[in-house]
Every structure is written in structure tokens, then in C-alpha cells.
Amino acid sequence: MATQEEINEIFPAMVGNLQADKAADANTTIQFELSGDNGGVYWVTVNNGTASHGTGAAEADLTVKAVADDFHSIVTGSMNPMQAFMMGKIKVTDTNLALKMINWFDMG
């Protein structure tokens, strides 16, 4: 099981791993609603090839919902994001934007 610290480290790591060239024309906020033990609400904003992150509710263009442990497995590479989506382990409000996000952060 992922610890709260491991979950909290995901979002600064995402910001640090943004592929600026692939997100150069992006201007979006993504909210992550992680349930279960060590879950929480986080956001990442991508704006013209740069990114920032924080906690709490945000006005989001895309909301990603998952159990915290499943999301941790996705971002650490032990679970394929597309398989997780197909199995219902991750839910998104905008599939097209979620596919772009995978590309921006090289999550699969």
C-alpha cells in the first residue's frame, strides 16, 4: 500500500517530469480525486509547457478519480493506464484530454 508521503510525492514529480514540448499548447487544470487510505484531492495545472500543482478542489477541465493505491501503481509503472481505465480502476471526465495528459507526462 502506498503511504501518504508516496501519494503526496506524485504531483511534484509529475510537474518535474512534464514534457514541455508535448504540452506547449496546453492550458488546462486536472483534478485528481483519490479515495481510500492515504487519498486526497490534488490538482495539476499545465499552461504553455509549464506545470504547477497543489491540493484541494480546483476548477478543473479534467477530473481523474481512482483509489490512491491504484493511481500510485499507474504512475509508478506497475499498472498500465489504459488497462486501468478499461478495468474501471480509473475514471475520467474527459477521455480525450486524459489521453493527452498521458502523453504530456509520459505515463505509459
**For 5-38, how does the pLDDT look when each residue is reduced to its tens digit (9 = 90+)?**
999 999 999 999 999 999 999 999 999 999 999 9
Per-residue pLDDT tens digits for 72-107: 999 899 999 889 999 999 999 999 999 888 889 865
Q: Can you give the pTM of this predicted structure?
A: 0.93
The residue extents of the domains of the chain are 4-100
Secondary structure of 37-81 in HEC code, one letter for each residue: CCCEEEEEEEECCEEEEEECCCCCCEEEEEEHHHHHHHHCCCCCH
The architecture of the domain spanning 4-100 is: 2-Layer Sandwich (3.30)
Whether residue 94 contacts residue 62, with contact meaning beta carbons closer than 8 Å, is answered with: yes
pLDDT reported for residue 108: 47
Summarize the confidence of residues 47-58 as an average pLDDT. 96
- Cell numbers standing for residue 85: 481505465
Give residue 87's identity as a one-letter amino acid code. M
